[in-house]
Chains A and B, each alone.
Chain A
Amino acid sequence: MAQGILVFIEQRNGQVRKSSLEALSEAARLIGNVGGSVSAVVVGQNVKGLTAEISKYKPAKIFVVDSGDFANYSTEGYAQAVTEAVKKADPAFVFSAQTSMAKDLIPRVAARLDAPIATDVTEIKSEGSSLTAVKPMYSGKAYGVYEFASPLVFLTLRPNRFALAAADAGHQAQVEDLAVAAGNIRAKVGEVHAAKGQTIEVSEAPIIVAGGRGIKGPENWPVLQNLCDVLGAALGASRAVVDAGWIDHQHQVGQTGKTVSPQLYIACGISGAIQHLAGMSSSKVIVAINKDPEAPIFKHATYGIVGDVLEIVPKVTEELKHMNGKN
């Protein structure tokens, strides 16, 4: 009988994604209720070395699909590999982080196995051995609680929402090589181009500094970027400035952009249109800096400053540098 939880561990360029380890941590927390054991699967070329890091988050077993066929991500190749791992592990649930790879891959695997999927899950509740998934709808304007009637269920978990367990270097997971023939890959990935100037990805960042119309023009992004650099934050943007062509869509936060749940969201010169609020209102702490005291963003902010972003942000950056210097 299907039992336990299998976690898909995403790696790119030999780096395990932190959000995958968050999913693994959540699986370990839930396994007592679900029954069975936690296993993980990692796919790629020369990925066996990653099992030491994955092992610290206490899966009982790690399936490794390691071959030149998987040097680059491809939907069909990876779908084949993950499907084989699911068949081998025979879990009741498959977890993954909700990433762009997951959006492409995990529903395809679920369809192949005729299983339901809930994506971008922000909370998992257990009722006996069955799990219900809570996920944002309408970009977080509402939340849906889903239940499942299937021996196999796929859940993709929103980054930053599930706490990373303490790493246990002493834990040794059993490692099992899985030989999978990738089969006929009809859509092949060639080159990968880094996006312009993007260092930290908005959807996974624990801190986001986002700019709107109040920054007055694209020439002022460096003011926000300096603050990002000091905080190790990602640069976000409102729809208005993306549509105005001030910055690439990859930075857009909100409905029709990215929905985010960072620890800290600093909204600079963003008035707080309903579409923007939808995408960021589940941030733990929200700072709003805006000239207009009536801006809707202040109703959602933990801390608000009425004033000019271009005056305040450099002062905040300076103060943080000063503080870091003292440490």
Chain B
Amino acid sequence: MKIAVCIKSVPDTEAKIKVAGDSKNIDTADVRFITNPYDEFAIEEALKLKEKFGGETVAIAIGGNEATEVLRDSLARGIDSAIHVKDAELENLDPLSTAKILANVIKEGGYDVVFCGQQGVGGDNSAVPSMLAEFLDMPQVAMTVKLEVTDNKFKAEREIEGAHEIVEGNLPALFSAQKGLNEPRYPSIKGVMAARRKEIAVKDANALGVAGNFSADKRKMRLKQMVMPPERPQGKLIDGDVDTQAKTLVKLLREEAHVI
């Protein structure tokens, strides 16, 4: 079984975000980059499938130098090889462009399964997996929380509002991973050592045959400006004994805030 996992390097979820001077990027000065948390579930599921069926797992990331680290991390967890799409022209892509480039990389590989995280924490789009499935002409299950594969058939559970949907079909297929799918393993010391020897294939826009196609002026969606959320006004602390606090809160919610 040949399995591709699309991963992304994102700021640590505990990081404070500040907008950089250009108003289009974040200030990365004090920010640690990590593997996108949802991609960890995708990596784990790929490793589990390989353990069951044998075959090959490949991690794919688009990005600058920070992507090297997360690719090394996935190799340390047990992924077999890595492809790094690295080109200044391909930075800060919108979901449509990202999906097209990933499809370009994945198409020739003959993959049985493609995994993605259900969203990248950052752009928070949740759009790339479905777009990628369309470009790969594969069936998909977004927000997968359970997956069983037998004889090239899959049975997946996906999260919907207040319920889980059971989706069945045949491979090849694409799954986007949601929290709950599995418990991601940590890289072992042995894995970290082995990862150093594994090769990361670096491809630029020329190698992919897309030079000039995804330059900023060709993109259909552009980030005009990044802004910080508005500051919240100073709140009120409610004093008194428990009865008074409860009564005061209900009164304020009803008569001042008008929300109940």
Contact = CB atoms under 8 A, between A and B. Distances in A.
Answer whether A and B are interacting partners.
yes
A282 B37 CA distance: 23
Residue among B139, B170, B220, B232 with most chain A CB within 10 A: B220
A100 B220 contact: no
Contacts of B19: 142
A73 interface: yes
A26 interface: no
Given A142-B26, A193-B163, A315 B243 contact: yes
A118 interface: yes
Interface stretch (A1-9, A49-57, A101-109): A101-109
A99 interface: yes
B200 interface: no
A12 to B, nearest CB: 8
Residue among A103, A148, A149 with most chain B CB within 10 A: A103
A119 B118 CA distance: 13
Interface string B69-106: 00000000000000000000000001110010000000
A114 B222 CA distance: 15
Nearest to A133: B221
B158 to A, nearest CB: 7
Nearest to A17: B161
A164 B115 CA distance: 37
Interface residues of A, number: 98
A256 B121 contact: yes
A100 B161 contact: yes
Interface residues of B, number: 84
A116 B252 contact: no
Contact of B17 (A101, A138, A148, A204): A138
Contact of B253 (A148, A303, A311): A303
Interface in B1-56: 11, 13-17, 19, 26, 37-38
Interface string B191-232: 000000000000000000000000000011111111111001
B131 A138 contact: no
A290 to B, nearest CB: 11
Interface stretch (A30-38, A63-71, A168-176, A182-190): A182-190
Given A108-B140, A146-B221, A285-B257, A298 B237 contact: yes
Nearest to B14: A274
A201 B162 CA distance: 6
B14 A316 contact: no
A104 B131 CA distance: 9
A167 interface: no
Interface string B142-183: 110100000000000111111111111110010000111000
Contact of B228 (A142, A288, A300): A142
Residue among A186, A298, A306 with most chain B CB within 10 A: A186
A75 to B, nearest CB: 6
B160 A100 contact: yes
B203 to A, nearest CB: 22
B224 A147 contact: yes
A111 B254 CA distance: 46
Interface string A272-297: 01110010011011111000000000
A187 B139 contact: yes
Contact of B165 (A146, A192, A203): A192
Interface in B96-141: 96, 99, 118, 121-135, 138-141
B224 A145 contact: yes
Given A148-B221, A190-B166, A282-B229, A103 B236 contact: no
Interface string A253-278: 00111010001100000000111001
A112 interface: yes
B242 interface: yes
B247 A319 contact: yes
A120 to B, nearest CB: 6
A110 interface: yes
A189 B259 contact: no
A76 interface: yes
Contacts of B225: 144-145
Contact of A315 (B143, B164, B246, B254): B246
A195 B142 contact: no
A195 B164 contact: yes
Given A110-B127, A138-B124, A187-B140, A100 B159 contact: yes
Given A107-B95, A108-B133, A139-B124, 12 more contacts: A101-B160, A107-B130, A108-B130, A108-B131, A110-B127, A115-B96, A120-B124, A138-B121, A144-B123, A193-B163, A203-B161, A316-B250
Interface of B: 11, 13-17, 19, 26, 37-38, 94-96, 99, 118, 121-135, 138-143, 145, 157-170, 173, 178-180, 219-229, 232, 235-238, 242-243, 245-247, 249-250, 252-254, 257, 259-260
16 contacts: A100-B161, A103-B130, A103-B142, A111-B130, A115-B96, A116-B96, A118-B221, A119-B127, A120-B124, A140-B229, A142-B228, A145-B227, A146-B224, A194-B163, A255-B13, A298-B237
Q: Which 5 A-B pairs have the closest CB atoms?
A: A315-B246, A187-B139, A116-B221, A186-B139, A111-B134
